Amino acid sequence: MSVRRGRVALRPIRRRDGRVWTEVHERNDAWLRPWEATVPPQAAASAPSSFAEMTRDLLRQARAGRTLPWLVWYDPVDEGDPRGPGVLAGQLTVSGITRGSAQWAQLGYWVDERWAGRGIIPLAVAMATDHCLGPLGLHRMEIVIRPENVNSRRVVEKLGFRGEGMRPAYLHIDGEWRDHLVYALNADEIGPGGLVARLTGSGRAAGLIGGPTAGRNDELPDTPPGITDR
Confidence label for 147 from pLDDT (cuts 50, 70 and 90): very high
Is the distance from CB of 150 to CB of 93 less than 8 angstroms? no
Q: CA-to-CA distance for 180 and 35, rounded, in angstroms?
A: 11
∠ Cα 117 177 20 (to 5°): 45
Report pTM: 0.86
Q: What angle do CA 28, 97, 218 make, to 5 degrees?
A: 70
Work out the mean pLDDT of the chain and round it to a whole number: 87
Domain spans of the chain, in order of start:
2-207
- Per DSSP (E only), the strands in 28-160 are 68-74, 87-98, 104-111, 140-145
What's the burial of 73, exposed, middle or buried (CB within 10 Å: 0-12/13-18/19+)? buried
55 band by pLDDT with thresholds 50, 70 and 90: very high
d(CA 48, CA 62): 16
Q: What angle in degrees, to the nearest 10, is found between the helix axes of 194-202 and 120-133?
A: 150
Which three-class secondary structure state does DSSP give residue 113? helix
Q: How confident is the model at residue 215 (pLDDT cuts 50, 70, 90)?
A: very low
Q: What pLDDT digit, counting tens, does each position of 157-207 carry?
A: 999 999 999 999 999 999 999 999 999 999 999 988 899 998 888 777 767
- pLDDT category at 1 given cuts 50, 70, 90 is confident
Burial label for 207, CB within 10 Å (0-12, 13-18, 19+), is middle
Gap between the Cα atoms of 199 and 128, Å rounded: 13
CATH class, range 2-207: alpha beta
Q: Among candidates 138, 150, 122, which has minimal Cα distance to 189? A: 138
Which phi and psi (to 5°) does residue 182 adopt?
A: -105, 130
